[in-house]
C-alpha cells in the first residue's frame, strides 16, 4: 500500500524553481515524473502566496495541471499546505483584519481549496510546522495562532474535513524525525484533539536530512509511537544534502552515505504498519531547493541534473 512520491517542482522564488512548472516544458522531467512515482505533491503551487495571491483571488491553473497529470498517470496527490507561518501573501500578513475577518478568510480559503480538489487529493498537510523546536507553539510567527489562539488549529482540521470527508488530514513538520521536544509535542497534541472529536488522521515527518548531522537512528521508533496511537504516518519531504564546494562533484563515499540515509528512512517507513506514503522533495538536483537555502550544501536528491540515477536511487529501489 506504500505510495512513493515526489514534490513537483515549480512556483518557488529562485532560478532552480522555474515558472512555468518544469513538467510543462522539460520532457525528460515529465517522463521521469510519470514513470517513477505513484504519488505527487505540489512543491509550492498550493501555498497561500501562490494559490491565493490577492484577497479573494485564487490561482488554480498550476495545481489543476498537476492534478490532471496525476490522474492521467494513476498517481495520488498530497495537498500541501493550508495553515503555515511561511509563504503567505503580503495582503494577508500585512493586512489590517479583525479576528472575525481573519477567521472567515481562513475558513473560506480551506473550504475553497480543499473543496476544489475533493476526491482528488488523498492526503492533506493541513497544518505545517506549528511547533518551535522546543515544543512550544509558534505563537509569534504563525499569524493564525498569534491572532486567533491555538483553538484555530482544530477549526482548520474541521473545515478541511467538511470540504473533503475522504481526505486523510495530517500535521507535518521538520525536525521531528527523532524522539525530541517537538515530536513529543505532536504526540501529546494529536490524541488530545482526537478526543475532542477533531478529524486528525496522521502525523507526517518532512525528513530534510543532512550528512552533517547524521541519520536520526530512532526514526522508526518515533514513527512507531504514532502508529501505536492508531495514526497514519508519512515521510513527506525527504532529501539528504551534503557538503559540496561550488563546481565540485560529491565523492563516492558521500554518495554512499546519502544512499544509506535514504534507504534507512524508507526501511523505517516500510517497517511501520500505517506509514503509507514516502515522498522525496524533488527527484533531480536540477530543480532542488537545497543549494539555494543551505549554503555550501547540495546534491540532495536521487538523480543528478541530467537525470542520471545516483546510488540513493538504487538503494531505494532495492528496499522496495
Tell me if 258 contacts ligand XIL by CB under 6 A: no
Please identify, using beta-carbon distances, which residue of 58 and 174 lies nearer to ligand XIL: 174
The answer to whether 257 contacts ligand XIL (rule: CB under 6 A) is no
Smallest distance, ligand XIL to C-beta of residue 43, A: 5
Q: What is the dihedral of CA 303, 204, 261, 243, to 10 degrees?
A: 70
Catalytic residue among 43, 49, 62, 129: 129
Answer yes or no whether residue 222 interacts with ligand XIL by CB under 6 A: no
| CA atoms of 219 and 205, how far apart (whole Å) | 9
Out of 142, 206, 258, 263, point to the residue binding ligand XIL (CB under 6 A): 206
- Based on its alpha-carbon atoms, the radius of gyration of the chain, rounded to whole angstroms, reads 19
> Is 237 assigned a catalytic role?
yes
Any contact of residue 123 with ligand XIL (CB under 6 A)?
no
Say whether residue 44 binds ligand XIL (CB under 6 A): yes
- Tell me the C-alpha distance between 266 and 316, whole Å: 7
* 279 part of the interface to ligand XIL, by CB under 6 A: no
Regarding 39 and contact with ligand XIL (CB under 6 A), the answer is: no
Pick the closer one to ligand XIL by CB: 132 or 271. 132
* Spatial distance between the Cα atoms of 183 and 25, rounded to a whole number of angstroms: 39
The only residue of 128, 183, 257, 258 in contact with ligand XIL, by rule CB under 6 A: 128
Question: CA torsion 263→265→270→276, rounded to 10°?
Answer: -130
**Nearer residue to ligand XIL within complex by CB, 99 or 212:** 212
Beta bridge partners of 54: 57
Distance linking the first and last C-alpha atoms of the chain: 11
Would you say 83 or 289 has its CB closer to ligand XIL? Answer: 289
CB closer to ligand XIL out of 43 and 232: 43
The DSSP output letter for 57 is B
Residues 280-319 that bind ligand XIL (CB under 6 A): 289
Stated length of the chain: 320
Active site residue 90: no
Taking the least distance from each CB to ligand XIL, the nearer of 17 and 220 is 17
Question: Residue 13 interacts with ligand XIL (CB under 6 A)?
Answer: yes
Is residue 83 a contact point for ligand XIL (CB under 6 A)? no
- 6 contributes a contact to ligand XIL by CB under 6 A: no
Positive or negative, the CA dihedral 268, 39, 300, 64 is negative
**Residue 17 and residue 289 in contact, taking contact as beta carbons nearer than 8 Å:** yes
| Minimum distance, C-beta of residue 206 to ligand XIL, in the bound complex (Å) | 6
Distances (CA, A) of 209 to 130, 205, 219, 264, 301: 19, 11, 12, 12, 11
Separation of alpha carbons 32 and 53, rounded Å: 30
Rounded to whole angstroms, the Cα distance separating 130 from 139 reads: 9
62 is a site residue for ligand XIL (CB under 6 A): no
8 A C-beta contact, residue 92 and residue 139: no
Residue for grid cell 552533517: 212
Site string (15-34) toward ligand XIL, x via CB under 6 A: --x-----------------
Cite the active site residues.
129, 237
Positions touching ligand XIL (CB under 6 A) are 12-13, 17, 43-44, 128, 174, 206, 237, 289
Amino acid at each position: 500500500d506504500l505510495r512513493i512520491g515526489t514534490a513537483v517542482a515549480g512556483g518557488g522564488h529562485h532560478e532552480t524553481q522555474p515558472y512555468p512548472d518544469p513538467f510543462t516544458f522539460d520532457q525528460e522531467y515529465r517522463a521521469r515524473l510519470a514513470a517513477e512515482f505513484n504519488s505527487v505533491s505540489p512543491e509550492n503551487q498550493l501555498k497561500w502566496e501562490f494559490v491565493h495571491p490577492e484577497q479573494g483571488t485564487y490561482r488554480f491553473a498550476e495545481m489543476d495541471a498537476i492534478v490532471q497529470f496525476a490522474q492521467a498517470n494513476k498517481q495520488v496527490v498530497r495537498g500541501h499546505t493550508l495553515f503555515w507561518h511561511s509563504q503567505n501573501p503580503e495582503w494577508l500578513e500585512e493586512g489590517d483584519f479583525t479576528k472575525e475577518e481573519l477567521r472567515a478568510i481562513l475558513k473560506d480559503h480551506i473550504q475553497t481549496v480543499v473543496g476544489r480538489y475533493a476526491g482528488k487529493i488523498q492526503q492533506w498537510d493541513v497544518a505545517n510546522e506549528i511547533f518551535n523546536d522546543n515544543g512550544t507553539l509558534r505563537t509569534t510567527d504563525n499569524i493564525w495562532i498569534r491572532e486567533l489562539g491555538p483553538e484555530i488549529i482544530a477549526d482548520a482540521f474541521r473545515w478541511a474535513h467538511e470540504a473533503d470527508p475522504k481526505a486523510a488530514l495530517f500535521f507535518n513538520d521538520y525536525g521531528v524525525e527523532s524522539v525530541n521536544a517537538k515530536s513529543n509535542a505532536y504526540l501529546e497534541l494529536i490524541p488530545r484533539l482526537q478526543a475532542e472529536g477533531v478529524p486528525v488522521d496522521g502525523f507526517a515527518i518532512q525528513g530534510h536530512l543532512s550528512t552533517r548531522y547524521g541519520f536520526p537512528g530512532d526514526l522508526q521508533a518515533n514513527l512507531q509511537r504514532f502508529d501505536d496511537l492508531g495514526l497514519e504516518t508519512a515521510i513527506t519531504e525527504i532529501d539528504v544534502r551534503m557538503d559540496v564546494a561550488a563546481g565540485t562533484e560529491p565523492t563516492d563515499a558521500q554518495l554512499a552515505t546519502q544512499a544509506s540515509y535514504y534507504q534507512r528512512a524508507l526501511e523505517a517507513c516500510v517497517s511501520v504498519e500505517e506509514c503509507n506514503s514516502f515522498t522525496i522533495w524533488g527527484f533531480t538536483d536540477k530543480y532542488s531547493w537545497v543549494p539555494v537555502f543551505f549554503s555550501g550544501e547540495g546534491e540532495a536528491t536521487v538523480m543528478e541534473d541530467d537525470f542520471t540515477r545516483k546510488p540513493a536511487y538504487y538503494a531505494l529501489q532495492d528496499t522496495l
